[in-house]
Amino acid sequence: MAEEPTKAGYAGGGDREGDDEQVVNPWEVTAKDGGKIDYDKLIEKFGCQRLDESLVRRVERLTGRPAHVFLRRGVFFAHRDFNEILDVYERGEKFFLYTGRGPSSEALHMGHLVPFMFTKYLQDAFKVPLVIQLTDDEKCMWKNLTVEESKRLARENAKDIIACGFDITRTFIFSDFSYVGGAFYENMVKVAKCVTFNKVVGIFGFTNEDHIGKISFPPVQAVPSFPSSFPHLFSGKDDLRCLIPCAIDQDPYFRMTRDVAPRIGYQKPALIESSFFPALQGETGKMSASDPNSAIYVTDSSKDIKNKVNRYAFSGGQDSIENHRKYGANLEVDIPVKYLGFFLEDDAELDHIKKEYGAGRMLTGEVKKRLVEVLSELVERHQKARALVTDEVVDAFMAVRPLPQMFG
């Protein structure tokens, strides 16, 4: 299986060829020529695999429940070794989940919740433990925040993450500033010894002008894949496999990790990767936390949501009603339909909408109205749950404690 990308060199920020190539790395996502991200090319370039129907069916069989919306609709569309994880699970063995967030801002939008919503489903369906890393150190370095501010943001983001419904008896949340040290740091050094300066430059596009904090950061995001980094949780379980749900722009970190793992006697982590959540104004890249109208935030009121969707959601409908009835909507670029693809659970209803809207019988206004309903319900539920997450709850999730029920 091709682990390496097909081009010499990696899809790092260091190998831009003007606007001819799309750029996908942990710090930048831009499509070619301001168009759409080509996911097939990305899969080929990165060397991961497509998540096909048969895997989704297998997941349903093994977990005894319908697959999550994101799996059914191809939001999580690529993987590395996910089939091996399923083999492990089928044999009655266990694995653990690892995901994370770079706490760069207080405001989270729906796109940020996507990996967490999916990870919660994985936790419930497979009944496995989860570690969540908050890379406050990374944001301190890349966004030039103070240490205090990045630590504060980490805790605030943790509250939203917890509100997604993670099970405290199976979840350990940690921030790098608090947790790095001990066995975790030992693993960081082991990983660091295996990656040359040239290699990180190739993977991540670092230059001679970048400070050494950035250059030595990648091992921090790599080692939570290894159970020995968490002796209070997985002591004695050195062979425990790891599954990492993440957005596909994080792939470089874990390509590096998978390369290093066998050399230090560890299992390679498996990955299950999602496409990018499109911005409200259209599918040219990731949502940006700095533009409030590019996204629906978890702090938005129903009024805000209605306003944003109606005003800014890019429509694939025609410019006049007559044309619309004649030609139908362009579902390829229509944002409301895409958003419904993420959040409308009912497959039958979604198919109906696509059919009617695509044929021109349903108008943009109706689709947007339905989207506003769906989003408002979601956001409201999130806000209610968020209100119940106090600092004490965060402390408990982040306490270095054993989780005896984690596989129960």
Partner 1 sequence: MGYTKDQLLARLKELQIDFVCYDHPAVLTVEAQAKYVGHLGGALSKNLLLKDKKHRYYVVSALANTNIDLKVLSQRLGLGKGGLRMAAEEALQEILQVPLGCVTPLALINDSARDVSLLLDQGFKSQQSCYFHPLTNEVTLSISASSLDKFLISIGRQPSYVDLEANPAVGKDNPPDLASLAPSGVPTLPDKVENAVTSIPTGNDGLTVKKPTKLAGEAKSPAALQKEKLQKVQSSIDPLAEATNIEKLVKEIMDKTSTAFLNEITKDLNDPQIAPSVSDVVKRRVSSDLEHMMMSLKNAAYTQGFQAGFQATLRSSLQSISMQK
Q: Which is nearer to partner 1, 24 or 403 (CB)?
A: 403
Q: Which is nearer to partner 1, 189 or 388 (CB)?
A: 388
Query: What burial class does residue 150 get, using C-beta atoms within 10 Å of its C-beta: 0-12 exposed, 13-18 middle, 19+ buried?
Result: buried
Total of residues contacting partner 1 (CB under 8 A): 23
- Told to check if 62 binds partner 1 by CB under 8 A, we report no
SS3 78: strand
- Told to check if 399 binds partner 1 by CB under 8 A, we report yes
- Told to check if 347 binds partner 1 by CB under 8 A, we report no
80 membership: H or E segment, kind and range:
strand 76-80
CB 175, min distance to partner 1, A: 18
Q: Helices (DSSP H) in 194-263: which residue ranges?
A: 197-204, 212-215, 218-222, 231-234, 251-260
Name the segment binding partner 1 (CB under 8 A); options: 44-52, 240-248, 335-343, 389-397.
Answer: 389-397
Phi, psi of 360 (to 5 degrees): 90, 0
What is the footprint of partner 1 within residues 81-100 (CB under 8 A)? 92
Name the segment binding partner 1 (CB under 8 A); options: 103-111, 150-158, 306-314, 398-406.
Answer: 398-406
Q: Whole-angstrom Cα distance, residue 297 to residue 255?
A: 31
End-to-end CA distance of the chain: 34
Q: Whole-angstrom Cα distance, residue 254 to residue 243?
A: 11
264: DSSP letter: G
Name the segment binding partner 1 (CB under 8 A); options: 55-63, 69-77, 321-329, 392-400.
Answer: 392-400
CB 87, min distance to partner 1, A: 15
- Interacting residue with partner 1 among 182, 239, 395, 402 (CB under 8 A): 395
- Interacting residue with partner 1 among 57, 355, 361, 381 (CB under 8 A): 381
Phi, psi of 40 (to 5 degrees): -65, -45
- Interacting residue with partner 1 among 18, 64, 236, 408 (CB under 8 A): 408
- Told to check if 385 binds partner 1 by CB under 8 A, we report yes
CB 125, min distance to partner 1, A: 10
- Interacting residue with partner 1 among 147, 264, 321, 396 (CB under 8 A): 396
User: How many other CB atoms sit within 10 Å of the CB of residue 36?
Assistant: 17
- Told to check if 215 binds partner 1 by CB under 8 A, we report no
SS3 75: coil
CA pseudo-torsion sign 300, 305, 308, 314: positive
Q: Whole-angstrom Cα distance, residue 361 to residue 353?
A: 10
CA pseudo-torsion sign 116, 122, 127, 132: negative
Name the segment binding partner 1 (CB under 8 A); options: 14-22, 251-259, 265-273, 399-407.
Answer: 399-407
CB 130, min distance to partner 1, A: 13
Q: Which is nearer to partner 1, 237 or 325 (CB)?
A: 237
CB 202, min distance to partner 1, A: 43
User: How many other CB atoms sit within 10 Å of the CB of residue 7?
Assistant: 11
Residue among 150, 310, 149, 172 at smallest CA distance from 231? 172
What is the footprint of partner 1 within residues 141-170 (CB under 8 A)? 162, 165-169
**DSSP bridge partners of 80:** 271
- Interacting residue with partner 1 among 124, 280, 317, 398 (CB under 8 A): 124
Interface positions with partner 1 (CB under 8 A): 92, 124, 162, 165-169, 381, 384-385, 388-390, 392-393, 395-397, 399, 401, 405, 408
